[in-house]
Amino acid sequence: MKARLTLIAISAGMLLSGAAVYSCTRASASEKPQKSAALFDSFSYKGMDEFYDSNPLPDESSFYNPILPGWYSDPSICSNGKGDYYLVTSTFTYFPGVPIFHSTDLVNWTPIGHVLDRPSQLDNIGTQHVSGGIFAPDIAYNPVNETYYMITTNVGAGNFFVKTKDPAGDWSDPVYLPEVQGIDPAFFFDNDGRAYIVNNDDAPDYKPEYPGHRTVRVVEFDTASEKCVGERKIVVNKGCRPEEKPIWCEGPHIYNLDGIYYLMTAEGGTGDWHSEVIYRGKSPFGPFEPWEGNPILTQRHLDCNRVNPITCAGHADLVKTAEGDWWAVFLACRPVDGKYENLGRETFMMPVSWTSDGWPYITRGNEEIPMIVRRAGVTRGNDVTFGNFTKDYDFSSATLGPDWHTLRGDATAHYSLSDNPGYLTIKCSAVSSREKKELPFVCRRVQHHKYECETRMIFCPEDETQCAGMLVMKDESHQYFLNRCIEDGSQCVALHKIGNDGSELLAKSPVSDNVIMLKVDSDGNNYGFHFSTDDGKTWKELMTGVDANYTSTATAGGFTGTTVGLYASSVR
């Protein structure tokens, strides 16, 4: 427990709700509950996946896949040709948007912030489903004007880009591109200084022949006027084998290798049939010839009962290193027992190989995506993004760190780090986690199958509407909530299952203390929910064996993984 200044608070014995008086036991004079708010003293996250414990890295040049565990989906990567690499991923309706990582060796990645970190950059996500919002960002470097560009889709608003000279600094406000319809745009800056945008769009004449029939289109982009110029042309219709009626050719990228233009796209949707395919041609507008050996990346044909299966691989991007070799980043999933997971689509990395006649590939035949990869000549640091790790947060900083998110906005109307220094204060706002609104919820990604989270909370509910605690969220209708509340007129700690039909009480236990610790743990298949009233010296089990499949993508659908965090509300 940290030393504290006396908080602005009310006496726990004078909390009123109509005619009822609900009192809490005061733990100490300096840690009184605040009216209509929860104070969180600390939070810890500990990953404990057995694979990492059983398979230590063999040498200092090895690293674990995924390099970014948890729902870091739709990765894109670029190099400035000066030894710096930058990587971004999707964030959907979470704020801030589009995390950005920096590396000088492709193994040691450092989070340097978010591209979209101001409300002015994130229009129209305030009423969207968790899996709406920002899709498939692409990051690219233009050596002509020494500028970095990030282009993406904001579902419901359109495609836009932002730019900067310093990826770790501020990015511009969005420039929308109404000419570029569809999703998944990417920039291509050619060697002659000309620029292009390639992306996924609807079928020709917007008349699909079957569900999932899509096209890839290219248009030239003028960097001076920041507008598209000329005709926007279809370069892929359906996919690499049109006769097979392929679905969802998307996430395209173009690369120029010694005058040969390579077009790479995903195919097969984002589920188990996901894959990556490659084409090549003589110009950014093609015509493009698909490789007869496609796909260049997939795991869809492998036995789902294999050990440590990795599935849904696709949506890749390529980067050439300073040493002249090529690497790929891509998304994939790690289901438990080949069935489901709460991690979402994660970022993996592998070296790219080349055939004798100049075609790149990432996997061939029955090759499995490895969970241990080696990059020769690189020394792995101590503070890495992969494997098992523990993160402890004491909320002593003026801002939340890069691990933390809110939903559909910055949520500063609901939480504060300055009202009670050293605590994260979350108001019991009149909004429910089931609503498509900005929430009083501060969360981080789940990044391991087996993990545990703990928090220390000061809170005394004033009436039967108020509640606060730890929320496990997949989306608006798939959540578990471990919380302090009042049930049937009595103070308690409770576990609620939140779904389409509202909130279901699964378990409760009488608690009168206004200082309580809460713990959530997971083994991948099941959750356990626990509490302590003596600062973690002893833990009491509230409920274990709670179905983790409920918050998985297999059950809930959507594009995100599960998040876990701190929540307060006056809506039950």
What is d(CA 233, CA 245) in angstroms, rounded to the nearest whole number?
Answer: 21
Q: Which of 108, 101, 97 is nearest to 87 (CA)?
A: 101
Burial per residue of 222-237, b for 16 or more beta-carbon CB atoms within 10 angstroms, e otherwise: ebeeeebeeebeebbe
Cβ neighbourhood burial of 527 (10 Å; 0-12, 13-18, 19+): buried
DSSP lists the bridge partners of residue 218 as: 198, 233
Does 244 qualify as catalytic in the annotation?
A: yes
Q: Which residue is catalytic, options 53, 146, 231, 244? A: 244
What is d(CA 184, CA 154) in angstroms, rounded to the nearest whole number?
Answer: 10
What is d(CA 402, CA 101) in angstroms, rounded to the nearest whole number?
Answer: 10
What is d(CA 105, CA 319) in angstroms, rounded to the nearest whole number?
Answer: 12
Contact between residue 314 and residue 328 where contact means Cβ atoms under 8 Å apart: no
Does 462 qualify as catalytic in the annotation?
A: no
3-state secondary structure 260-326: EEEEEEEECCCCCCCEEEEEEECCCCCCCEECCCCCCEECCCCCCCCCCCCEEEEEEEEEECCCCCE
What is d(CA 516, CA 532) in angstroms, rounded to the nearest whole number?
Answer: 6
Query: Which residues have C-beta within 8 Å of that of residue 12, sequence separation ≥ 6?
Result: 23, 24, 25, 26, 32, 33, 460, 514
Residue 169 CB neighbour total at 10 angstroms: 9
β-pairing verdict for 20-21 and 16-17: antiparallel
| H or E element at residue 349 | strand 346-351
> CA geometry: angle at 213 spanning 265 and 222, to 5°?
50
Q: Is 52 helix (H, G, I), strand (E, B) or coil?
A: helix
| H or E element at residue 43 | strand 37-47
What is d(CA 141, CA 154) in angstroms, rounded to the nearest whole number?
Answer: 21
Contact between residue 65 and residue 369 where contact means Cβ atoms under 8 Å apart: yes
Distance (Å) of CA 58 to CA 108, 360, 381, 440: 16, 28, 14, 44
What is d(CA 216, CA 180) in angstroms, rounded to the nearest whole number?
Answer: 11
Q: Which residue is catalytic, options 31, 41, 49, 74? A: 74
The two tokens of residue 152 are 């993406």
Cis before residue 75, ω within 30 degrees of 0? no
Which amino acid appears at position 219 of this protein?
V
Question: What's the start-to-end Cα distance of the chain, in Å?
Answer: 31
Residues marked active site are found at 74, 244
